[in-house]
Amino acid sequence: MAVGAKHLTECPNCGSTIRFRKAPYMEQTVECAHCETELVVVNILPLTLDWAYEYDDDWDDDDWDDDD
């Protein structure tokens, strides 16, 4: 395996290669240079990214009610 190859993974949104200069860590956020999607490290081995979601603390169960 080439040096640094373990710091490569694919963007789950567009499939572009994402390269980390240093060893990634859990919950590290990164932006895909190609599609500008904000991603988060969810697994180190194998290196896996997922979409980063912002928590909305104003959300409540009433937001799901469609029976207005």
Q: Please give the CATH topology (third level) of the domain spanning 5-54.
A: Rubrerythrin, domain 2 (2.20.28)
Give 5-55 pLDDT, tens digit per residue.
Answer: 679 999 999 999 999 999 999 999 999 999 999 999 999 999 999 999 876
What's residue 1's pLDDT?
Answer: 39
Pairing of strands 17-19, 48-51: unpaired
Residue 40: its H or E element: strand 38-43
Token pair, residue 17, equals 């290669």
For residue 19, report the phi and psi dihedrals to the nearest 5 degrees.
-115, 130
51 closest CA partner among 35, 59, 40:
40
Three-state DSSP class for residue 22: coil
Can you tell me the distance from the alpha carbon of 11 to that of 32, in angstroms, rounded to the nearest whole number? 7
What's residue 14's pLDDT?
Answer: 97
